[in-house]
Amino acid sequence: MALLEIPRTGRDADSIVADLEAFRQGDVGWKEGKVFSLVYNAGDAHTELLKRAHNAFFSENGLNPMAFKSLQRMEAELVRMTATMLHGGPGVVGTLTSGGTESILLAVKAARERGKKKGIRNPEMVVPRSVHVAFDKAAHYLGVKIRHVALAGDYRVDTRALARAITRSTVLIAASAPQYPHGVIDPIEPIAALARSHDIAFHVDSCIGGFVLPWIEGLGYPVPPWDFRVDGVTSISADLHKYGYAAKGASVLVYRDMSYLKHQFFVATDWPGGIYASPTMPGTRPGGAIAAAWAAVHGMGQDGYLRHARRAMEARAELLAGLRAIPELRVLGEPQSTIVAYASRSRDVDIYAVADALEDRGWSVDRQQRPDSIHCTLMSAHRDIMGSYLADLREAVAHVRSHPELKSRGNAAMYGMMAKVPFRGMVRSATMKFMESMYGPGGASPDLSAVSEGQGPLMRAVNRYGPRALHALDQLKSRLDEARKRLLRREG
């Protein structure tokens, strides 16, 4: 790879912007509504407002709130409005963060420090299997042991199993409202009662739901109690840059009172540069993101949030009706928010091959595993294109059903093998190779096929024997399913 250096002379602005526009030609077409994640769009006028607000505070730095009192005011007002939206009392406190992952990391950090004050030296947290992977990242970074709890048949966490997982070293329990993979809300009230009885911090991860569940409830849809109305909930994360329709990256982390938030702060007093205090993980905090978040909330208003929530839920209703009209597909669980996941109920239709076929038709598809499925985060814009999506989905299912060999080709084979291989270390090894390639000196563009193309003898074996292994695993699963059914009939 040839060395790349900073240009010797500066270039004119127009040519630079032209290059930037050219770079994005291969990006997904989110403006057409063909993306079901990553970008939350509330229309061109709202986007222009965010740009103006962001640019107005482009250079300001939230590191020192005494220097930029404007940013401190905006942050305080956003925290207060979020607390009110989530039915918090006057004692609720919090901070803005760069996104859901930072919010979760900080919630775990605060619980760890609170546990230390109680004498816990080997902290643990108890979380559902479906909880966001940011909790695993927090465990990795912060030295907190993580205990994953199995899900019940409705994809919500099994509360009895969760109770059994609690130990004297547990500093945090977490649950989701809703959880990302299936769009269901964990049983917050019984979990909160458990946390309260053990004096354990209880974090509700509502990064994806915090700025939409209140409006869904306001529209009259059934939403079980999940926020500060539930005694025992001690902190909540809610992303502004998702259904708050703010610019990336902005999230709110709120605590029931200062007795929890104070454990989040970092203070150093012996540094030669002076006393250093930071409420969140970064030092520099971009003022543009804070200003854009403040502008987003004021620009949308409650009426705007209700309008977009209504359209997203209408899109959900249309999608669910369409999915239930396709015999080969099944919806996972009973979605309670704006997330829908669906899988195949037919051995003749491989869901990953369906995903490939949808991508051939221009859609960006999010694949999941355990079970193999397709994930859709529905937004206001999807109300206008849901008919096209369902038409393409019906065509994709019919095409895969008539071409069963597609399951062993392209991404379908790669995802299928990676999802089913019993030794997850093989998957980790392949994924690490992919990351090394993308972030190595060559800076290769992401190409999932490279994960399994000749990356050492292990992955060459997967390539060579993958289709046969998939067939054998499918056969084994089928026999296990039949044995389970016979056992149930015998017990009944």
DSSP characters for 448-464? Answer: GGGGGSSSHHHHHHHHH
Does the pLDDT at position 421 exceed 70?
no
315 and 289 in one domain?
no
Please state, in angstroms and rounded to a whole number, the distance separating the CA atoms of residues 406 and 458.
Answer: 24
pLDDT 10s digits, 230-251: 999 999 999 999 999 998 989 9
The domain boundary residue, chosen from 385, 410, 435 = 410
Res. 453 pLDDT band, cuts 50 70 90: very low
Chain centre to alpha carbon of residue 362 = 23
What whole-number percentage of the chain has pLDDT above 70? 80
Dig out the tokens for 287 from the structure: 């003022």
Q: What does the pLDDT read at residue 275?
A: 78
Res. 428 pLDDT band, cuts 50 70 90: low
CA distance from start to end of the chain: 66
User: Is residue 149 in some structural domain?
Assistant: yes
DSSP characters for 254-309? Answer: EESSHHHHGGG-EEE---TT--EEESSS-SS-BHHHHHHHHHHHHHHHHHHHHHHH
Give the predicted TM-score (pTM) of the model: 0.83
Dig out the tokens for 97 from the structure: 């963060």
Amino acid identity at 270: D
User: Is residue 126 in some structural domain?
Assistant: yes
380 and 367 in one domain?
yes
User: Is residue 415 in some structural domain?
Assistant: no
305 and 292 in one domain?
no
Could you tell me which residue, 320 or 440, shows the higher pLDDT?
Answer: 320
Dig out the tokens for 321 from the structure: 């009706």
Q: What does the pLDDT read at residue 464?
A: 56
Average pLDDT score over residue span 191-215? 97
Q: Return the sign of the alpha-carbon dihedral for residues 183, 412, 427, 151.
A: positive
Could you tell me which residue, 462 or 216, shows the higher pLDDT?
Answer: 216
CA 356 to each of CA 83, 95, 346, 402: distance values in angstroms, whole numbers, following the listed order: 42, 41, 17, 15
Range of the structural domain that residue 122 is part of: 52-298
Could you tell me which residue, 455 or 11, shows the higher pLDDT?
Answer: 11
Please give the DSSP secondary-structure letter assigned to residue 61: B
From the number of C-beta atoms within 10 Å of its C-beta (0-12, 13-18, 19+), residue 339 rates as buried
Res. 331 pLDDT band, cuts 50 70 90: very high
Does the pLDDT at position 474 exceed 80?
no
Instruction: Identify any residues that bridge with 238 across adjacent strands, giving them in sequence order.
Output: 252
Quote the number of domains for the chain: 3
Does the pLDDT at position 446 exceed 60?
no
User: Is residue 489 in some structural domain?
Assistant: no
The domain boundary residue, chosen from 350, 375, 410 = 410
Residue 444 · residue 438 · CB < 8 Å: yes
319 and 389 in one domain?
yes
Please state, in angstroms and rounded to a whole number, the distance separating the CA atoms of residues 244 and 42.
Answer: 10
Average pLDDT score over residue span 309-337? 96
Res. 451 pLDDT band, cuts 50 70 90: very low
pLDDT 10s digits, 260-311: 999 999 888 888 988 788 888 888 788 889 999 999 999 999 999 999 999 9
In the sheet that 339-344 helps form, which strands lie side by side, from edge to edge? 329-331, 339-344, 373-377, 366-368
Pairing state between β 373-377 and 366-368: antiparallel
State the average pLDDT for the chain: 86
184 and 127 in one domain?
yes
Average pLDDT score over residue span 76-101? 94
User: Is residue 27 in some structural domain?
Assistant: no
Q: What does the pLDDT read at residue 455?
A: 47
The domain boundary residue, chosen from 266, 298, 330 = 298
Please state, in angstroms and rounded to a whole number, the distance separating the CA atoms of residues 101 and 138.
Answer: 8
388: domain CATH number is 3.90.1150.10
Average pLDDT score over residue span 33-60? 84
293 and 304 in one domain?
no
Please give the DSSP secondary-structure letter assigned to residue 122: S
Chain centre to alpha carbon of residue 471 = 32
147 and 89 in one domain?
yes
257 and 319 in one domain?
no
202 and 328 in one domain?
no
In the sheet that 251-255 helps form, which strands lie side by side, from edge to edge? 93-97, 251-255, 235-239, 201-205, 170-176, 124-128, 145-149
Q: Among 52-66, 183-197, 474-488, which is the least confidently predicted range?
A: 474-488
Residue 336 · residue 362 · CB < 8 Å: no
DSSP characters for 323-382? Answer: HHTSTTEEE-S---SSEEEEEE--TT--HHHHHHHHHHTT---EEETTTTEEEEE--GGG
pLDDT 10s digits, 95-133: 999 999 999 999 999 999 999 999 999 999 999 999 999
282 and 207 in one domain?
yes
Does the pLDDT at position 325 exceed 90?
yes
Please state, in angstroms and rounded to a whole number, the distance separating the CA atoms of residues 358 and 459.
Answer: 27
Q: What does the pLDDT read at residue 454?
A: 43
Which of 16-25, 196-205, 426-435, 463-472 is predicted most confidently? Answer: 196-205
109: domain CATH number is 3.40.640.10
Res. 439 pLDDT band, cuts 50 70 90: very low
371 and 428 in one domain?
no
| Matching residue, tokens 């037919």 | 346
Res. 445 pLDDT band, cuts 50 70 90: low
User: Is residue 447 in some structural domain?
Assistant: yes
* Burial annotation 57-71 (CB, 10 A radius, 16+ → b, else e): beebebbebeebebb
244 and 224 in one domain?
yes
User: What is the crossing angle of helices 351-360 and 410-420, to 10°?
Assistant: 150
Average pLDDT score over residue span 218-222? 96
pLDDT 10s digits, 4-46: 887 888 989 999 889 888 888 877 666 666 777 778 888 889 9
Q: What does the pLDDT read at residue 394?
A: 97
User: Is residue 19 in some structural domain?
Assistant: no
User: Is residue 32 in some structural domain?
Assistant: no
| Matching residue, tokens 């927090």 | 138
Average pLDDT score over residue span 422-449? 56
Res. 427 pLDDT band, cuts 50 70 90: low
